[in-house]
Homo-oligomer: A and B are copies of this chain.
Amino acid sequence: MDFKFLRELLIPAETKIVLIIMDGLGGLPLEPGGKTELETARTPNLDALAAQATLGLTVPLAPGITVESGPGHLGIFGYDPMQYRIGRGVLEAVGIEFDLRPNDVAARGNFCALDANGLVSDRRAGRIPTDASKGLAKLLTMQIEDVEFFVEVVKEHRLAVILRGADLGAELSGSDPLKNGKPPQTVRARDAASEKTARVANQFIARARAALAGKMPANMILLRGFDCYPNLPPLPEIFGLRAAAIALHPTYRGIAKLVGMHVLPVQGNTFADEFATLEKNWADYDFFYLHIKDTDLAGEDGDFARKVRIIEQVDALLPRVLALQPDVIIVSGDHSTPAKLKAHSWHPVPTLLYAADARAEGIAEYGERACARGGLGVLPAKDVMPLALGHAHRLEKFSA
């Protein structure tokens, strides 16, 4: 969708849209002929809503392509993930709630071990404990020229490294050789605007090596995935919505903030607390994104039964959303994470769109195969937001 085209059709409305994303929702049967996690789950509330909804399968980016959470969420938020990107470094930074600023450059970092010949002997520094990692990170806070370096521990050896200064381009190759037994690489600028960044990054790496000498299991740092603040067109402007995000996991709060949503504080750390946050803020926004992380974690762990249980817990909370009488409810995922595969996958995501004026198929089941029979068909995830706006009567008729 051309955002400019869409923006010209926006009309003011009082309608409210709720987008419930169960991360990695799509699944697979463990055995041929079996049921997926979602099909196995007892979901009376979702099934009843499905009967009044139109169903489909969303493709996060393109057929056959498996996505990370970043592009998966951009798609479901209406952005073409091929065109709009959030770099790995930026995702790591927002994922720890680092207050990234528009001119910052961020990289994914690893503490690693170098052998006596200067070759990488362990890219993950023995998965050094987070506390030890934090101690080492303190040694690396520094300034080179006018550029401040922030080294923040994500978990164990994983770091977010943020560069803050003037005139920093982000078109850079990484220093991480991506396998053991090779030396760290020199960071190289891919355009003239990034030459300063390359220069200070290489100086930073040299000084880090000196500071970490003898600090095994980690005596070096590797950087990759340099990127700048993405400057995405703000979702509230594109779609004319006062948009709020409800998520327990920092990465998703971060992505929501990058697209311009207002990230609501959640009191507590349960799904029920997320739904309570929705209720509490109901009057103040037109659009709510509510994120459930644990479906994805269970899928990654290969824990089919746990993923089923989490879906059932979400189903049990659905009546609290229905009681608010949203005009449009979408239930979907950002990608599939079948427990069978213990990983994200390319499979399209079961998607339910409820609205008073949805053309319901009367399929009283929310599941992968039920959605394959639905009237939305198989559609790009980025089409979901315009469909939500249409069903919310927020778009005027296009004439010419």
Mark A residues whose CB is within 8 Å of B. 1-2, 5, 9, 28-29, 32-33, 36, 51-52, 56-57, 61-68, 70-71, 81-82, 85-88, 91, 225, 227, 338, 340-341, 343-348, 357, 359-362, 368-369, 372-379, 383, 386-391, 395-400
Contacts and interface: CB of A to CB of B under 8 A. Distances in A.
Contacts of A346: 387, 390-391, 395
Contacts of A33: 51-52, 360, 362
A81 B368 CA distance: 31
Given A348-B375, A375-B378, A67 B357 contact: no
A372 B359 CA distance: 11
Nearest to A86: B400
B357 A71 contact: no
A398 B9 contact: no
A5 B62 CA distance: 11
A134 to B, nearest CB: 25
B400 A70 contact: yes
Contacts of A397: 66-68, 343-344
Contact of A386 (B64, B343, B391): B64
A399 B359 contact: no
Contacts of A391: 64, 346
Contacts of A390: 63-66, 345-346
Given A63-B383, A64-B395, A399-B88, A347 B372 contact: no
A362 B373 CA distance: 13
A187 to B, nearest CB: 18
B369 A64 contact: no
Contacts of A359: 28, 36, 347, 368
Given A33-B362, A61-B398, A64-B386, 4 more contacts: A63-B379, A86-B400, A88-B400, A340-B357
